[in-house]
Amino acid sequence: MTEKSRDNSFLKGAAILGAAGILIKIIGAFFRIPLGNIIVDEGMGYYQSAYPIYLILVVASTAGFPTAIAKLVSERTAKGDPYGADRIFKVSFFILAGLGIATSSILFFGARYYSEVIKNPKAYYSIIAIAPALLFVPLMSSFRGYFQGLRDMRPTAVSQIIEQLVRVAIGLVLAYALLGRGLEISAAGATFGAGAGALISALAMAAIYFRHKSGMNLKRPEKPEKLNEIVKALLLIAVPITIGASVLPVMNSIDVGIVLRRLQEIGYSEASANGLYGQLAGMATPLMNLPQIVTAAIQISLVPAVSHMIAKKDYNMLGETVKSGARATLIIALPAAFGMVVLAEPIMRLLYPFKIESAVSASAILSVLGFGIIFLSMFKTLTGILQGMGRPIVPVWNLAAGALLKIVLTYVLVGIPALNVRGAAIGTVFGYALAATLNVSYIKRNLKMDLPVLKLSAKPLFSAAVMGAVAFWGHKAMTPLLGGGI
């Protein structure tokens, strides 16, 4: 393998992670259908109630560490220091183990209090059932970060698939087996699948790690890095990323109140406002996030690749890699965006055949949010580049600026009756557009890198526009022949 092919291997890594992400989404979709039939709406309410607090604690304990580990391991590997790379992993493993014990304990012992705060006491069992997952997810993420730093994405992909398969199998079996003990206990059985999946996945990663380590020559250098230096390096990267990962959940929580309040202020009833917000958050937004399965994989793969090249001072190849990452993102994001925009109504009708009125209404939202795919995808990719360059705080500030713009625009535009909830979608698009633009500007201005976004997007944009036109008119021509279906 040539040096160039090795340094562009991030595309192969992104393809592996993207394929795994798509498979995981498919498995998860099949999980929801039988689970909903087993525990019905009431049980799903208990099941879902455990996840908001769980996800907050997962973000707090793991969000930034895989990236930090990957960056530092990649740098040590580029300098021919496998001992240093392995030591980075070991230190991070114990840090994450401590965070896992802390967050798992907080959730387990605080489950009763939290279930009372959310006014859903029977969700207590689901909350304590998911607590063990917080012990194993951080351990699993330390292994993933290590192998990502080696630019080998296969262990991460394999562990993700194992985690999801075990989660689904254990969750469904326990939900069915415990059904006779009450819906709250059955829902807890389904929730426990998350911990079982994380445990088995962590064990699989440990087996891969020890097999990998057995073939390594970990010669201790005369002056190894000090422990406090390693911890400081990890935290300097991990903490800003964790803060950044918290920006959107916080802003989205604020967004809920703004949208519902403004809709009611312009004449919608509480029920109608809830319905419109459901179309935005529950029907349209998840579709905008679908292409991020692949672009997030590009982001993850870019971090160690960029770090590796900077450590080797190979700035020519670094520039090519940055352009390749941006180009790959645009090739995925542009057609996805055009497809969502021009086929918004047919897509919604296909997904929600028994809720046609809501589907048609949500399609107007999706036709706006579709443009957000472009900017969100570019923001994620450029964030990976900045993280690899050791500038993790920059995208945090840029995303915060975008989120603030989103809140202001949402407040103003949702209050316009002709736009109503679509105003929130417009705010989202402009918020991501600002964040992505600020990332591009920083890379060009402060890092003195050539990133010709317009030139890179010209061919994909033309192809996507042609595809969109063909898809739109093709659907319009075929609809009468198919009896006016979707």
| Confidence at residue 244, expressed as pLDDT on a 0 to 100 scale | 82
What CA–CA distance (Å, rounded) separates 124 from 235?
Answer: 33
Scanning the structure block, which residue is given the tokens 């063990």? 132
The Cα 192–Cα 179 span in angstroms is 14
In this structure, what are the phi and psi dihedrals at residue 224, rounded to the nearest 5 degrees? -70, 160
pTM of the model: 0.84
191, 47 in Cβ contact below 8 A? yes
pLDDT of the chain along its 486 residues, tens only? Answer: 444 444 457 888 888 999 999 999 888 877 877 888 888 878 887 887 888 788 888 888 888 899 999 999 999 998 888 899 999 999 999 999 999 999 999 999 999 998 888 788 888 999 999 999 999 999 999 999 999 999 899 999 999 999 999 999 999 999 999 998 988 999 999 999 999 999 999 999 999 999 998 877 777 777 778 899 999 999 999 999 888 887 777 777 677 778 888 999 999 888 888 888 888 877 888 889 889 899 989 999 999 989 988 888 888 888 888 999 999 999 999 999 999 999 999 999 888 887 888 889 889 999 999 999 999 999 999 999 999 998 999 999 999 999 999 999 999 999 999 999 999 999 999 999 999 999 999 998 887 788 888 899 999 999 999 999 999 999 888 877 766 656
pLDDT for residue 130: 94
Contact between 60 and 242 under an 8 Å Cβ cutoff? The reply is: yes
Taking the C-alpha atoms of residue 99 and residue 122, their distance in angstroms, rounded to an integer, is: 27
Name residues whose C-beta falls within 8 Å of residue 278's C-beta, 6 or more positions apart in sequence: 358
Q: What angle do CA 47, 51, 53 make, to 5 degrees?
A: 135
The pair of structure tokens assigned to 67 is 């990236």
Tokens linked to 410: 């949402």
CA distance 277 to 260: 7
Domain ranges of the chain: 1-225, 242-486
- Structure-block tokens of residue 117: 């705060």
CB 128 within 8 A of CB 285: no
Cα(332)–Cα(74) distance, integer angstroms: 27
3-state secondary structure the chain: CCHHHHHCCHHHHHHHHHHHHHHHHHHHHHHHHHHHHHHHHHHHHHHHHCHHHHHHHHHHHHCCHHHHHHHHHHHHHHCCCHHHHHHHHHHHHHHHHHHHHHHHHHHHHCHHHHHHHCCCHHHHHHHHHHCCHHHHHHHHHHHHHHHHHCCCCHHHHHHHHHHHHHHHHHHHHHHHHCHHHCHHHHHHHHHHHHHHHHHHHHHHHHHHHHHHHCCCCCCCCCCCCCHHHHHHHHHHHHHHHHHHHHHHHHHHHHHHHHHHHHHHHCCCCHHHHHHHHHHHHHHHHHHHHCCHHHHHHHHHHHHHHHHHHHHHCCHHHHHHHHHHHHHHHHHHHHHHHHHHHHCHHHHHHHHCCCCHHHHHHHHHHHHHHCCHHHHHHHHHHHHHHHHHCCCCHHHHHHHHHHHHHHHHHHHHHHCCCCCCCHHHHHHHHHHHHHHHHHHHHHHHHHCCCCCCHHHHHHHHHHHHHHHHHHHHHHHHHHHHHCCCCC
pLDDT of residue 13: 86
CA angle 138-139-141, nearest 5°? 65
